[in-house]
Amino acid sequence: MPREKIRIGTRGSPLAIKQAEEVCQRLAAAHGLDAGLCEICIIKTSGDRIQDRALKELGGKGLFTKEIEESLISGEIDMAVHSMKDMPTVLPAGLEIAGVLPREDVRDAFVSLTAANLASLPSGATLGTASLRRQAQVKRSRPDLRVVMFRGNVQTRLRKLADGVADATLLAAAGLRRLGEAARITALMSPDDMLPAVAQGAIGVEVRTDDTKMRVMLAAINDAETEVCLAAERAFLAALDGSCRTPIAGLATLEGEQMRFRGEILLPDGSEHYATERRGSANRARAMGADAADELRDRAGTAFFDALKA
């Protein structure tokens, strides 16, 4: 095992740092190392710098990974820790995800100072979110609500809520739990009511493909169940050419060797949506995700996807 520092690249938000620290702690425990062996390197990404515009206007996925991956390719860092839901399905040449941690709660959390749940928000109330997927799902179930852009890290969004910018917001339950902010959750959204984003709640670690030492280290902390579920979900996303311009939801779960996959696509205003489900052997994870995507693409038709490009 290496004696030199392991340089871990991450974004600078409190949640991103927590995630990097968890990777460090798991590596130290798995290999009998001092956690001080890790050096967390903060890298500001385009998505962090630009806060006044929606992600769909800025190029979508990759905004929270590009600069970190450039540092990884150049050798400035040894590994990069990401929220897997931020990761494009195609990685830069020479990079790979070498390990994923056990997945946290996949659900969306409804947070409000005035309402007990999404259904109890009064007509005309304002819900803030930066997620096109959440926007579409909310508008589908509650077209009477006003949805406004809500950018920023978890603390920023909670502060905006306290300041009355919106009556409610939706955040990943996993992020709130990792930050020790679970008490902020007003209600948890069942995946039956709000299917989560692809890879929500999962942390991935990216390395250079030719860095055998880092790949071997990460293999010891890789969670096989999370890995196979993400394989199905990311295959679904890839087949749909998903980006922040496309409201897409997907969730795979395991029961022994059997997998259940659910996928959904929507128009941003919630006026159209298509959903499907697959059940089968977990060793067909990628095929199940891709097949589900093919079905939805056929059912939705070209007009649906043309509307997303407009």
User: Number of C-alpha atoms within 13 angstroms, CB side, residue 128?
Assistant: 21
Amino acid at the residue 188? L
Whether the Cβ atoms of residue 274 and residue 283 lie closer than 8 Å to each other: no
Whether the Cβ atoms of residue 141 and residue 118 lie closer than 8 Å to each other: yes
Domain 235-309 falls in which CATH fold? Double Stranded RNA Binding Domain (3.30.160)
Domain 6-101+201-222 falls in which CATH fold? D-Maltodextrin-Binding Protein; domain 2 (3.40.190)
Task: Please choose, from the candidates 241, 253, 249, 302, the residue with its C-alpha nearest in 3D space to the C-alpha of residue 276.
Answer: 249
Q: Which helix (H) or strand (E) holds 74?
A: helix 66-74
Residue 252 to residue 282: CA distance in whole angstroms: 10
Cβ neighbours for 249, distance < 8 A, ≥ 6 positions apart = 133, 137, 194, 195, 196, 197, 198, 263, 264, 265, 266
Tokens of 77: 């860092």
Handedness of CA 85, 88, 92, 94 (dihedral sign): positive
Beta bridge partners of 147: 127
Which residue among the candidates 34, 52, 78, 86 is catalytic per the annotation? Answer: 86
- pLDDT tens, N- to C-terminus, the chain (310 residues): 445 899 999 999 999 999 999 999 999 999 999 988 899 999 987 666 555 555 555 555 567 799 999 999 999 999 999 999 989 999 999 999 999 999 999 999 999 999 999 999 999 999 999 999 999 999 999 999 999 998 788 999 999 999 999 999 999 999 999 999 999 999 999 999 999 999 999 999 999 999 999 999 999 999 999 999 999 999 999 999 765 578 999 999 999 999 999 999 999 999 999 999 999 999 999 999 999 999 999 999 989 988 887 6
Task: Please choose, from the candidates 91, 156, 87, 102, the residue with its C-alpha nearest in 3D space to the C-alpha of residue 128.
Answer: 156
SS3 44: coil
SS3 66: helix
Does the domain spanning 108-189 belong to CATH 3.40.190.10?
yes
Segments making up each domain of the chain, as ranges: 6-101+201-222, 108-189, 235-309
Residue 47: per-residue pLDDT: 62
Establish whether domains 6-101+201-222 and 108-189 are of one fold.
Answer: yes
Residue 295 to residue 274: CA distance in whole angstroms: 10
Cβ neighbours for 169, distance < 8 A, ≥ 6 positions apart = 111, 112, 127, 128, 129, 150, 157, 158, 160, 161
Task: Please choose, from the candidates 200, 183, 226, the residue with its C-alpha nearest in 3D space to the C-alpha of residue 107.
Answer: 200
Residue 231 to residue 285: CA distance in whole angstroms: 6
Tokens of 85: 């839901």
Task: Please choose, from the candidates 196, 197, 175, the residue with its C-alpha nearest in 3D space to the C-alpha of residue 185.
Answer: 175
Annotated active-site residue 86? The verdict is yes
